[in-house]
Amino acid sequence: MLSPDIQKDLAKACAEEVTAVIMDEIRGRRFSVLIDESRDVSITEQMAMVLRFVNDEGKVVQRFLGLKHIEKCTSVAFKEALVGMISSHKLSINMIRGQGYDGASNMRGEFNGVQKLIHDENPYAFYVHCFAHQLQLVVVVVSTFTPAIADFFNYVPLIVNTVGASCMRKDVLLAKHHDNLMEKLENCEIATGRGLNQESGLARPRDTRWGSHLKTLLRILVMWDAILEVLEIVKKDSIKPTCNGGAFGLIGKMESFDFVFILHLMIELLSTTDNLSRASQRKDQDIVEAMHLIMSVKESLQDMRDNGWEPLFKRVKTF
Protein backbone atom coordinates (compact mmCIF):
# COMPACT_ATOMS: atom_id res chain seq x y z
CA MET A 1 0.00 0.00 0.00
CA LEU A 2 3.02 2.33 0.35
CA SER A 3 4.11 1.75 -3.24
CA PRO A 4 3.35 4.75 -5.51
CA ASP A 5 2.50 2.38 -8.37
CA ILE A 6 -0.05 0.51 -6.24
CA GLN A 7 -1.55 3.78 -5.01
CA LYS A 8 -1.95 4.99 -8.60
CA ASP A 9 -3.50 1.66 -9.60
CA LEU A 10 -6.02 1.94 -6.76
CA ALA A 11 -6.90 5.53 -7.69
CA LYS A 12 -7.29 4.52 -11.34
CA ALA A 13 -9.50 1.57 -10.39
CA CYS A 14 -11.74 3.83 -8.27
CA ALA A 15 -11.97 6.34 -11.12
CA GLU A 16 -12.94 3.61 -13.59
CA GLU A 17 -15.67 2.30 -11.27
CA VAL A 18 -17.11 5.79 -10.72
CA THR A 19 -16.98 6.53 -14.46
CA ALA A 20 -18.79 3.25 -15.17
CA VAL A 21 -21.62 4.33 -12.85
CA ILE A 22 -21.84 7.71 -14.63
CA MET A 23 -21.97 6.04 -18.04
CA ASP A 24 -24.70 3.74 -16.77
CA GLU A 25 -26.66 6.82 -15.66
CA ILE A 26 -26.44 8.41 -19.10
CA ARG A 27 -27.36 5.26 -21.10
CA GLY A 28 -27.75 6.98 -24.48
CA ARG A 29 -29.28 10.20 -23.12
CA ARG A 30 -28.58 13.57 -24.65
CA PHE A 31 -26.29 15.71 -22.51
CA SER A 32 -24.52 19.05 -22.20
CA VAL A 33 -20.78 19.53 -21.73
CA LEU A 34 -19.11 21.97 -19.35
CA ILE A 35 -15.36 22.38 -19.79
CA ASP A 36 -12.72 24.72 -18.42
CA GLU A 37 -8.95 24.88 -18.29
CA SER A 38 -7.34 24.08 -14.97
CA ARG A 39 -3.63 24.36 -14.12
CA ASP A 40 -2.33 22.02 -11.40
CA VAL A 41 0.54 22.51 -8.93
CA SER A 42 3.07 21.15 -11.44
CA ILE A 43 2.08 23.97 -13.87
CA THR A 44 0.48 21.47 -16.23
CA GLU A 45 -2.46 22.76 -18.25
CA GLN A 46 -5.48 20.49 -18.09
CA MET A 47 -9.04 20.47 -19.34
CA ALA A 48 -11.71 19.59 -16.79
CA MET A 49 -14.97 18.17 -18.16
CA VAL A 50 -18.40 17.89 -16.55
CA LEU A 51 -21.46 16.25 -18.14
CA ARG A 52 -24.93 17.65 -17.42
CA PHE A 53 -28.04 15.60 -18.13
CA VAL A 54 -31.50 14.64 -16.86
CA ASN A 55 -31.61 11.40 -14.86
CA ASP A 56 -34.40 8.82 -14.44
CA GLU A 57 -36.06 10.94 -11.75
CA GLY A 58 -36.31 13.94 -14.07
CA LYS A 59 -33.65 15.87 -12.16
CA VAL A 60 -30.81 17.77 -13.79
CA VAL A 61 -27.52 16.32 -12.54
CA GLN A 62 -23.89 17.14 -13.19
CA ARG A 63 -21.13 14.54 -13.19
CA PHE A 64 -17.40 15.25 -13.28
CA LEU A 65 -15.97 13.05 -16.04
CA GLY A 66 -12.25 13.69 -15.74
CA LEU A 67 -9.18 15.73 -16.62
CA LYS A 68 -7.30 15.79 -19.90
CA HIS A 69 -3.79 17.17 -20.41
CA ILE A 70 -3.72 20.04 -22.91
CA GLU A 71 -0.47 21.02 -24.64
CA LYS A 72 -1.90 24.18 -26.24
CA CYS A 73 -4.76 26.38 -25.03
CA THR A 74 -6.21 26.79 -28.50
CA SER A 75 -9.79 26.20 -29.56
CA VAL A 76 -8.74 23.35 -31.88
CA ALA A 77 -6.81 21.62 -29.07
CA PHE A 78 -9.75 21.92 -26.67
CA LYS A 79 -12.18 20.65 -29.30
CA GLU A 80 -10.01 17.62 -30.08
CA ALA A 81 -9.58 16.86 -26.37
CA LEU A 82 -13.34 17.17 -25.79
CA VAL A 83 -14.22 14.86 -28.68
CA GLY A 84 -11.49 12.41 -27.69
CA MET A 85 -12.67 12.23 -24.08
CA ILE A 86 -16.35 11.60 -24.86
CA SER A 87 -15.42 9.14 -27.63
CA SER A 88 -13.30 7.14 -25.19
CA HIS A 89 -16.49 6.58 -23.19
CA LYS A 90 -18.45 5.57 -26.30
CA LEU A 91 -20.37 8.83 -26.45
CA SER A 92 -20.93 10.74 -29.67
CA ILE A 93 -20.60 14.45 -30.39
CA ASN A 94 -24.06 14.22 -31.98
CA MET A 95 -25.52 13.51 -28.51
CA ILE A 96 -24.47 16.94 -27.21
CA ARG A 97 -27.35 19.38 -26.73
CA GLY A 98 -25.60 22.15 -24.84
CA GLN A 99 -22.19 23.71 -24.29
CA GLY A 100 -21.10 25.77 -21.28
CA TYR A 101 -17.74 27.54 -21.14
CA ASP A 102 -16.32 30.76 -19.73
CA GLY A 103 -15.99 34.03 -21.62
CA ALA A 104 -12.48 33.47 -23.04
CA SER A 105 -12.24 34.07 -26.79
CA ASN A 106 -10.82 30.59 -27.47
CA MET A 107 -13.90 29.08 -25.77
CA ARG A 108 -16.85 31.27 -26.72
CA GLY A 109 -15.52 32.88 -29.93
CA GLU A 110 -18.31 33.12 -32.52
CA PHE A 111 -15.95 32.39 -35.45
CA ASN A 112 -13.14 30.14 -34.19
CA GLY A 113 -14.07 29.31 -30.58
CA VAL A 114 -14.66 25.80 -29.23
CA GLN A 115 -18.43 26.38 -29.18
CA LYS A 116 -18.38 27.30 -32.91
CA LEU A 117 -16.28 24.26 -33.86
CA ILE A 118 -18.64 21.94 -31.98
CA HIS A 119 -21.72 23.73 -33.34
CA ASP A 120 -20.46 23.30 -36.92
CA GLU A 121 -20.51 19.52 -36.46
CA ASN A 122 -23.67 19.43 -34.35
CA PRO A 123 -26.13 22.33 -34.87
CA TYR A 124 -28.14 21.22 -31.78
CA ALA A 125 -25.20 21.82 -29.42
CA PHE A 126 -26.28 25.29 -28.28
CA TYR A 127 -23.80 27.42 -26.36
CA VAL A 128 -24.83 29.20 -23.16
CA HIS A 129 -22.47 31.53 -21.32
CA CYS A 130 -22.96 31.23 -17.54
CA PHE A 131 -25.35 34.04 -16.55
CA ALA A 132 -23.71 34.52 -13.15
CA HIS A 133 -20.28 34.80 -14.81
CA GLN A 134 -21.58 37.40 -17.29
CA LEU A 135 -23.08 39.40 -14.44
CA GLN A 136 -19.82 39.31 -12.50
CA LEU A 137 -17.87 40.46 -15.58
CA VAL A 138 -20.21 43.44 -15.92
CA VAL A 139 -19.81 44.33 -12.23
CA VAL A 140 -16.01 44.04 -12.50
CA VAL A 141 -15.74 46.26 -15.59
CA VAL A 142 -18.17 48.92 -14.35
CA SER A 143 -16.68 49.05 -10.86
CA THR A 144 -12.99 49.12 -11.78
CA PHE A 145 -13.63 51.69 -14.54
CA THR A 146 -13.51 54.28 -11.74
CA PRO A 147 -9.84 54.74 -10.64
CA ALA A 148 -10.77 55.33 -6.97
CA ILE A 149 -12.69 52.03 -6.78
CA ALA A 150 -9.98 50.15 -8.67
CA ASP A 151 -7.47 51.51 -6.13
CA PHE A 152 -9.79 50.47 -3.29
CA PHE A 153 -9.81 46.86 -4.49
CA ASN A 154 -6.02 46.92 -4.68
CA TYR A 155 -5.90 47.65 -0.94
CA VAL A 156 -8.52 45.10 0.16
CA PRO A 157 -6.30 42.02 -0.51
CA LEU A 158 -3.36 43.80 1.19
CA ILE A 159 -5.45 44.29 4.33
CA VAL A 160 -6.63 40.67 4.33
CA ASN A 161 -3.12 39.31 3.69
CA THR A 162 -1.44 41.53 6.30
CA VAL A 163 -3.93 40.70 9.04
CA GLY A 164 -3.94 36.98 8.22
CA ALA A 165 -0.22 36.60 7.45
CA SER A 166 0.38 34.30 10.44
CA CYS A 167 -1.53 32.12 12.87
CA MET A 168 -0.64 34.53 15.68
CA ARG A 169 -2.20 37.49 13.86
CA LYS A 170 -5.32 35.46 13.07
CA ASP A 171 -5.67 34.47 16.73
CA VAL A 172 -5.24 38.09 17.83
CA LEU A 173 -7.82 39.22 15.27
CA LEU A 174 -10.40 36.69 16.48
CA ALA A 175 -9.69 37.53 20.13
CA LYS A 176 -10.04 41.28 19.50
CA HIS A 177 -13.23 40.72 17.50
CA HIS A 178 -14.65 38.55 20.30
CA ASP A 179 -13.87 41.23 22.89
CA ASN A 180 -15.50 43.91 20.73
CA LEU A 181 -18.63 41.77 20.28
CA MET A 182 -18.91 41.14 24.01
CA GLU A 183 -18.55 44.86 24.72
CA LYS A 184 -21.27 45.74 22.19
CA LEU A 185 -23.56 43.06 23.60
CA GLU A 186 -23.11 44.44 27.11
CA ASN A 187 -23.90 47.95 25.85
CA CYS A 188 -26.95 46.61 23.91
CA GLU A 189 -25.51 47.92 20.65
CA ILE A 190 -26.12 44.59 18.90
CA ALA A 191 -28.62 41.77 19.35
CA THR A 192 -27.89 38.15 20.13
CA GLY A 193 -29.58 35.08 18.71
CA ARG A 194 -29.09 32.01 16.57
CA GLY A 195 -26.89 32.74 13.55
CA LEU A 196 -26.02 36.25 14.75
CA ASN A 197 -22.49 37.53 15.43
CA GLN A 198 -20.78 34.20 14.81
CA GLU A 199 -17.01 33.89 14.94
CA SER A 200 -15.57 34.49 11.47
CA GLY A 201 -12.31 35.18 9.70
CA LEU A 202 -11.37 37.31 6.71
CA ALA A 203 -11.90 35.62 3.33
CA ARG A 204 -9.62 36.45 0.41
CA PRO A 205 -11.51 37.92 -2.56
CA ARG A 206 -11.13 36.14 -5.90
CA ASP A 207 -11.30 37.96 -9.22
CA THR A 208 -13.14 35.12 -10.94
CA ARG A 209 -15.92 35.21 -8.36
CA TRP A 210 -16.93 38.69 -7.36
CA GLY A 211 -19.50 37.26 -4.97
CA SER A 212 -16.48 36.59 -2.73
CA HIS A 213 -15.77 40.35 -2.66
CA LEU A 214 -19.10 40.98 -0.93
CA LYS A 215 -18.26 38.38 1.71
CA THR A 216 -14.84 39.96 2.29
CA LEU A 217 -16.18 43.54 2.48
CA LEU A 218 -18.93 42.56 4.92
CA ARG A 219 -16.39 40.90 7.20
CA ILE A 220 -14.08 43.91 7.03
CA LEU A 221 -17.03 46.08 8.04
CA VAL A 222 -18.02 43.80 10.95
CA MET A 223 -14.43 43.29 12.15
CA TRP A 224 -13.34 46.90 11.52
CA ASP A 225 -12.12 47.71 15.04
CA ALA A 226 -10.34 44.37 15.44
CA ILE A 227 -8.55 44.79 12.08
CA LEU A 228 -7.30 48.25 13.02
CA GLU A 229 -6.07 46.96 16.38
CA VAL A 230 -4.14 44.12 14.71
CA LEU A 231 -2.60 46.55 12.19
CA GLU A 232 -1.54 48.78 15.11
CA ILE A 233 0.16 45.77 16.73
CA VAL A 234 1.94 44.92 13.46
CA LYS A 235 3.06 48.55 13.11
CA LYS A 236 4.51 48.67 16.64
CA ASP A 237 5.92 45.18 17.10
CA SER A 238 7.09 44.10 13.64
CA ILE A 239 10.87 44.01 13.15
CA LYS A 240 10.81 44.37 9.37
CA PRO A 241 10.54 47.99 8.13
CA THR A 242 8.38 46.86 5.20
CA CYS A 243 5.82 45.41 7.62
CA ASN A 244 5.85 48.53 9.79
CA GLY A 245 5.44 50.83 6.82
CA GLY A 246 2.83 48.60 5.18
CA ALA A 247 0.69 48.46 8.32
CA PHE A 248 1.07 52.22 8.83
CA GLY A 249 -0.08 52.86 5.25
CA LEU A 250 -3.05 50.51 5.57
CA ILE A 251 -4.21 52.16 8.78
CA GLY A 252 -4.09 55.56 7.11
CA LYS A 253 -6.00 54.20 4.13
CA MET A 254 -8.70 52.56 6.23
CA GLU A 255 -9.22 55.68 8.33
CA SER A 256 -9.72 57.88 5.27
CA PHE A 257 -13.24 59.00 4.34
CA ASP A 258 -12.81 57.82 0.73
CA PHE A 259 -12.07 54.23 1.78
CA VAL A 260 -15.04 54.05 4.15
CA PHE A 261 -17.35 55.62 1.57
CA ILE A 262 -16.35 53.16 -1.19
CA LEU A 263 -16.62 50.25 1.28
CA HIS A 264 -20.26 51.10 2.05
CA LEU A 265 -21.03 51.89 -1.60
CA MET A 266 -19.65 48.58 -2.90
CA ILE A 267 -21.40 46.58 -0.15
CA GLU A 268 -24.71 48.13 -1.19
CA LEU A 269 -24.02 47.58 -4.90
CA LEU A 270 -22.76 44.00 -4.54
CA SER A 271 -25.62 43.11 -2.17
CA THR A 272 -28.07 44.18 -4.88
CA THR A 273 -26.41 42.10 -7.61
CA ASP A 274 -25.62 39.15 -5.33
CA ASN A 275 -29.26 38.01 -5.20
CA LEU A 276 -29.36 37.87 -9.00
CA SER A 277 -26.02 36.07 -9.10
CA ARG A 278 -27.23 33.41 -6.67
CA ALA A 279 -30.49 32.97 -8.59
CA SER A 280 -28.53 32.54 -11.84
CA GLN A 281 -26.70 29.55 -10.34
CA ARG A 282 -29.75 27.64 -9.12
CA LYS A 283 -30.25 24.17 -10.55
CA ASP A 284 -34.04 24.55 -10.75
CA GLN A 285 -33.89 27.72 -12.82
CA ASP A 286 -37.17 29.45 -13.65
CA ILE A 287 -36.57 31.72 -16.66
CA VAL A 288 -39.65 33.87 -16.00
CA GLU A 289 -38.65 34.37 -12.37
CA ALA A 290 -35.09 35.17 -13.45
CA MET A 291 -36.30 37.82 -15.90
CA HIS A 292 -38.44 39.43 -13.18
CA LEU A 293 -35.41 39.40 -10.87
CA ILE A 294 -33.27 41.10 -13.54
CA MET A 295 -35.86 43.88 -13.85
CA SER A 296 -36.03 44.16 -10.07
CA VAL A 297 -32.24 44.51 -9.80
CA LYS A 298 -32.19 47.16 -12.54
CA GLU A 299 -34.93 49.10 -10.77
CA SER A 300 -33.07 48.83 -7.46
CA LEU A 301 -29.86 50.12 -9.04
CA GLN A 302 -31.73 53.00 -10.67
CA ASP A 303 -33.42 53.86 -7.38
CA MET A 304 -30.02 53.71 -5.68
CA ARG A 305 -28.71 56.19 -8.28
CA ASP A 306 -31.72 58.53 -7.98
CA ASN A 307 -32.44 58.41 -4.24
CA GLY A 308 -29.58 56.58 -2.56
CA TRP A 309 -27.06 59.38 -2.08
CA GLU A 310 -28.40 60.96 1.10
CA PRO A 311 -28.94 57.68 3.04
CA LEU A 312 -25.51 56.39 1.94
CA PHE A 313 -23.73 59.63 2.83
CA LYS A 314 -25.44 59.75 6.23
CA ARG A 315 -24.56 56.10 6.94
CA VAL A 316 -20.91 56.70 6.05
CA LYS A 317 -20.67 59.84 8.24
CA THR A 318 -22.29 57.98 11.15
CA PHE A 319 -19.83 55.11 10.78
Tell me what pLDDT residue 111 has.
79
Tell me what pLDDT residue 319 has.
92
Q: Which CATH architecture has domain 4-129?
A: 2-Layer Sandwich (3.30)
Q: Confidence class of residue 16 from pLDDT cuts 50, 70 and 90?
A: very high
Top mean pLDDT of 16-20, 138-142, 166-170 is at 16-20
Average pLDDT in the 221-235 region? 88
Share of the chain above pLDDT 90, in %: 36
Q: Confidence class of residue 246 from pLDDT cuts 50, 70 and 90?
A: confident
Average pLDDT in the 126-145 region? 80
pTM of the model: 0.69
Average pLDDT in the 6-15 region? 94
Share of the chain above pLDDT 70, in %: 86
Q: Confidence class of residue 196 from pLDDT cuts 50, 70 and 90?
A: very low
Q: Point out which residues pair with 270 in neighbouring strands.
A: none
Q: Point out which residues pair with 53 in neighbouring strands.
A: 61
Q: Does 102 or 153 have the greater pLDDT score? A: 153
Answer whether residue 198 shows pLDDT above 60. no
87-132 residue pLDDT tens: 999 999 999 999 988 777 778 777 788 889 999 999 999 988 877 7
Among 20-34, 64-78, 230-244, 289-303, which is the least confidently predicted range? 230-244
Average pLDDT in the 81-87 region? 90
Distances from the Cα of 14 to the Cα of 9, 17, 81, angstroms: 9, 5, 22
Distances from the Cα of 258 to the Cα of 24, 164, 252, 313, 316, angstroms: 58, 24, 11, 11, 10
47-65 residue pLDDT tens: 899 999 999 888 889 999 9
Domain locations in the chain as residue ranges: 4-129, 134-318
Average pLDDT in the 183-208 region? 56
Average pLDDT in the 217-239 region? 85
Average pLDDT in the 292-304 region? 91
Q: Confidence class of residue 206 from pLDDT cuts 50, 70 and 90?
A: low
Among 162-171, 190-199, 210-219, 308-317, which is the least confidently predicted range? 190-199
Q: What secondary structure letter does DSSP report for 101?
A: -
Q: Confidence class of residue 197 from pLDDT cuts 50, 70 and 90?
A: very low
Top mean pLDDT of 50-59, 164-173, 212-221 is at 50-59
The whole-angstrom separation of Cα 192 and Cα 195 is: 9
The whole-angstrom separation of Cα 177 and Cα 202 is: 11
Q: Does 37 or 198 have the greater pLDDT score? A: 37
The whole-angstrom separation of Cα 74 and Cα 113 is: 9
Tell me what pLDDT residue 204 has.
55
At 281, is the secondary structure helix, strand, or coil? coil
The whole-angstrom separation of Cα 198 and Cα 181 is: 10
The whole-angstrom separation of Cα 71 and Cα 51 is: 22
The whole-angstrom separation of Cα 31 and Cα 27 is: 11
Answer whether residue 200 shows pLDDT above 70. no
